Amino acid sequence: MNKILLTLALILSIVVFGQSEDSKSKTMGFFISPNVQIGYNLGNSIKDNQNNDSPYYQQYVAPYLPNDFTYGIGVVGGYHIFRFFALGTGIRYNFIANDQHLLNWIIQPKFYLGKDDWKGFIELEYGKQFNHSNVNNAEHYGLKIGYQDAFSKRLNNEIGVFIYTQNYKLSGATFIGLSFGATIFSNKKYTVYRND
């Protein structure tokens, strides 16, 4: 039994410490990624289908309607598992309307396209509200397409176009907009600046 454990430990150490420089640079390792967003509401079917002057609309519908614009700020931490895939989780604040300040816990799988420091990406997002606001238990689903570029040894910047749906009681919205962010990561050999 001891010989088997010793053999497994030896194989594991060869795999972990015997990587080439090239294989070390394929992933970022652990990362943290703050970002900001601004988006436009593509429309709200309730706004279009209701009599805006009715008492029901004014009392029960209007307080839940989102603004035409939204903005948000968030931070995600995670691990870049494979060259083409990273998984993160974090929190996001979104301002939807005057009484709708939503704090969401989010899960964010991210798929990378490209091999060099300039990488396109496709990012999926699911968020669930955890604070109390004019609305509660809201959730959203999102898609972002963009690219990241190396800025230094441990820093990437990124820009993307997003679309996400925000669903909650009596209303909801679909926002499209721009996202700007940065990623700080643990693997200093990931970018072209690795030898600086």
CATH number, domain containing residue 68:
2.40.160.20
Residue 110's pLDDT is: 94
**Pair 36, 182: CB distance under 8 Å:** no
121 located within any domain: yes
Residue 46's pLDDT is: 44
DSSP assignment letter at 54: S
Query: Any idea of the CA torsion for 33, 153, 150, 88, to the nearest 10 degrees?
Result: -20
Range of the domain at 61: 33-195
85 located within any domain: yes
78 located within any domain: yes
Q: Which is nearest to 80 in space by CA: 163, 168, 191, 172?
A: 191
67 located within any domain: yes
Q: Which two tokens stand for residue 166?
A: 């925000």
147 located within any domain: yes
Report residues of the chain scoring pLDDT below 50: 15-24, 45-49
Q: Which residues have CB under 8 Å from 155's CB, separation 6+?
A: 182, 183, 184, 185
Rounded distance between C-alpha atoms, residue 181 and residue 165, angstroms: 20
Place of tokens 């989102």: 66
Residue 182's pLDDT is: 94
8 located within any domain: no
Query: Total domain count for the chain?
Result: 1
Q: Which two tokens stand for residue 69?
A: 């614009």
24 located within any domain: no
175 located within any domain: yes
Residue 23's pLDDT is: 43
**Pair 112, 121: CB distance under 8 Å:** yes
